[in-house]
Structure 1
Amino acid sequence: MGYQIMIVEDDDKIAEILGSYIKRYGYDTVRAVRMDDIKQEFAEHKPDLVLLDINLPHYDGFYWCRQIRTISNAPIIFISARTGEMDQVMAIENGGDDYITKPFHLEIVLAKIKSALRRAYGEYSASQEQSDTLNVHGLSFDRTRNSLEWNGKIVDLTRNECLLFDALTMKTGRIMSREKLLGMLWDDVQFVDDNTLTVNVTRLRKKLEEIGINDAIETVRGQGYRLNMVWNSGQSEDKG
């Protein structure tokens, strides 16, 4: 397979269990040892995916997720004993792609790893069988760089934000159901909290607003989301 998974976990037993199980399925693993410099370790190893705990020495997982996101869009899956909805929202808000609560089933961890890798690099990646750049009403979407450009302003997207925008452009002006979007972003939707999609949509809206585009993504109550045909430049309203 050739993929390397970085495990950022300060509990030796959990890290060993995860590492041993993942290796059985052909993945390489590396465990972070410098808990005060996770970003540098990530830069040195350049893993394809990160399993990231929240409760860590020095700084928490949310901090390290933000740090990694400054240099990479590699999938990041949080694994934490925190079961609160707000923790899961914060994980996504800070750049995470998925969330697993402890105690966990190893089969679920593996399924989520496979899904994230396929979305990022495999047959479901945004750049597969598509042109590298898409122009939507003057907005340039670069799939290879995971970025959007509008009137000279550029914003970087996470992998899930990229997939979400790509999905919405398939039916510009028409409604994409929440179920369809969930299925396009995550294979194992039975393990994904419905609120995760809402958080990702909110993040994508904020990214668009950063480059001057407001009201691009419309919420259609009870149905899903729609990418509008015309961009607005004024102050956007909260659309939920």
Structure 2
Amino acid sequence: MHILIIEDDPLFRREMKDFLENSLYHVTALTEFDRIVPKALSLRPDLILLDWNLPGQSGFELCAEIRACSDVPIIFVTGREDSMDEAAALLKGGDDYITKPFHPSVLLAHISAVLKRTRKEAQDSAVLIHLGLELDLAKAQVRYQGRRAELTRNELKILHCLFRHPGEIVPRTELIEYLWDASVFIDDNSLSIHVTRIRGKLKELGLPDFIHTKRGMGYFI
């Protein structure tokens, strides 16, 4: 996961960066504070740690600008202890608020909680995206580079299950149970047929190798 630090105190910035990198996060820390929003968005972080008091523009204003065009999670990390400031930050689009000083483990706990919550929200959204392929749950279709394909109910459910576990092998039995829970009868042979049909539709969109098979185990994307 990529974390972006926007903090003007060089010592505190370095301490946070070193600690998070030691905790196996990929970390970028801004050291110049002009055109912050374009820089931040171009880096495409998974989460932003944002100081309130920054040169030229407050973190409060930056949060509002980022929120206007991105849903990236934002945690305020600041020495401001006023509860009204915290409320304003959250109302403006911040996802969490940590007051300095704090123990490093507290920072990790807040980051983990926000990432877990926002990932779940993304998974539950109407449109899921993986490797450029959009799965539209409401319209029962997939889209890729301007092209689209309609999905049957079974095909939609199978892709939805795979999209919920990107990079993970989903056992065939789990897919069958997932469909059965949705009152859709499907057996092992039917599953193979549906996956073959999905692959055919994805191939027509330009993604012939989107779904991978792990022999004897299941499928993954």
TM-score of the pair, normalised by structure 2: 0.55
The size of the alignment, in residue pairs, is 130
Q: 1:41 to 1:116 in 2, by over 3 A?
A: same
* Secondary structure at the counterpart of residue 15 of structure 2: helix
Residue 24 (structure 1) shift = 1.1
Q: Indicate yes or no: 2:22 matched with 1:24.
A: yes
> Which amino acid in the other structure matches residue 111 of structure 2?
I
> For structure 2, which runs of at least 5 residues remain unmatched after alignment?
128-135, 139-221
Counterpart position of 1:64: 62
Tell whether 2:124 aligns with 1:126. no
Mapped to 2, the partners of 1:120 and 1:89 lie a distance apart of 19
Structure 1 pair 143–80 and aligned structure 2 pair: CA distance change class (3 A): farther
Cα RMSD between the aligned structures? Answer: 2.0
Q: Which amino acid in the other structure matches residue 27 of structure 2?
A: T
Q: CA deviation at 1:127?
A: 4.5
Distance 1:126 1:43, change over 3 A: closer
Between the aligned partners of 1:143 and 1:77, the Cα distance in structure 2 is: 30
Structure 1: runs of 5 or more not aligned: 134-141, 145-240
Q: Distance in 2 between matches of 1:72 and 1:56?
A: 20
More helix by share: 2
Q: Distance in 1 between matches of 2:137 and 2:33?
A: 32
Larger Rg: 2
Q: Which position in structure 2 is the counterpart of 1:10? A: 8
Report the Cα offset of residue 131 of structure 1.
Answer: 7.0
Deviation of 1:65 after TM superposition, in Å, equals: 0.3
SS of residue paired to 2:121: coil
Question: SS of 1:62's equivalent?
Answer: helix
CA gap of 1:72–1:86, structure 2 versus 1, over 3 A, is same
1:46 is matched with 44
| Structure 1 residue 25: Cα displacement | 1.5
CA 1:74–1:143: 2 relative to 1, 3 Å: farther
Q: Secondary structure at the match of 1:55?
A: coil
The residue number in structure 2 matching 1:235 is: none
Aligned pairs (5 A) from 1:102-141: 102-121=100-119, 125-128=120-123, 130=124, 132=126
Query: Compared with structure 1, are the counterparts of its residues 83 and 28 closer, same or farther at alpha carbon in structure 2 (3 Å cutoff)?
Result: same
Runs of 4+ in 1 over 3 A off after TM superposition: none
Query: Does the 8 A contact of 1:34 with 1:41 survive in 2?
Result: no
Q: Percent identity?
A: 38
TM-score of the two chains, using structure 1 as the length reference: 0.51
